Amino acid sequence: MTVDVLNISGEKTGRSVDLPESVFGVQPNEHVLYLAVKQYLANQRQGTHKAKERGEIKGSTRKIKRQKGTGTARAGSIKNPLFRSGGRVFGPRPRDYSFKLNKKVKRLAKRSALSTMANKGRIMILEDFTFDQPKTKEFVDVIKNLELTNAKSVFVISDYDTNLHLSSRNVKGSKIVHARDLNTYQILQAGKLVISENSVEVIKNTCN
C-alpha cells in the first residue's frame, strides 16, 4: 500500500511511502484484538478497592437479642450484613487485574489493528517535524491544516521530542505517542493515525 507524504501545512510533498504488507496488510484477527484491548484496560486498573466485611466492622459482638421467642429471625451480632451499618457480604478486596499475553499475540494484535486502520483509510503519513519551543498554537495549526479538528487523532513519532509533547498535551482529542510505545488500544481508539515518515520503519521492526 502506497501513501502520499504530507507536510505540516497539509500539502503533498511529492514523496510517498510504501506501507509493508506484513504489517499493514494482514487479515485482522478480532479475537486477538479483543485480548490485547482487554489486557491494556485491565492493566490500567489500580485494584485498590476494599469494603469491610463483618469481621472488620467496628461494633460489639454481644448477642443483641435472645435466640428464640421474639417472632423474628435469630441474630447474633450487630455487625450482621443484614443490618444497617453491618459488614458487606463478599465485598471487593484489593487484587491485581493484570494478566499476561505472549509477545507473538501482542504483535499480531498490533498488526491487525494497523491493517484495520489502513483498510478504512484512516492512516496519514506526515513528514518529520519539530518545534523550536513548546507552542500549543502551532500544534493546533497543524491539526487544522490536516483537517483533524473534529477527529480523534494520534500522532506517532520516531524519536522522543519534548517540545512536541509539551505542545500537544493540552489539546483535547489529540495525543503524541512514541512509535515504540504505540499499542493496540491507542490505534483502535484513533479516528486518524498520523504516522511520521521515519516511524514506519520503527513500527515495522516492533511488529515483526
| Strand, coil or helix: 57 | coil
State the angle between helix axes of 103-119 and 199-207 in degrees (0 to 180), rounded to the nearest 10.
Answer: 140
Average pLDDT per 10 consecutive residues for the chain, totaling 208 residues: 89 90 93 96 95 91 91 92 92 94 95 94 92 92 92 92 91 92 94 93 89
Q: Specify the pTM.
A: 0.83
What domains can be seen in the chain, in order of their start residue?
Answer: 2-45+97-207 (3.40.1370.10), 47-96 (no CATH)
According to the model, what pLDDT value does residue 208 have?
81
Report d(CA 193, CA 5) in Å as an integer: 13
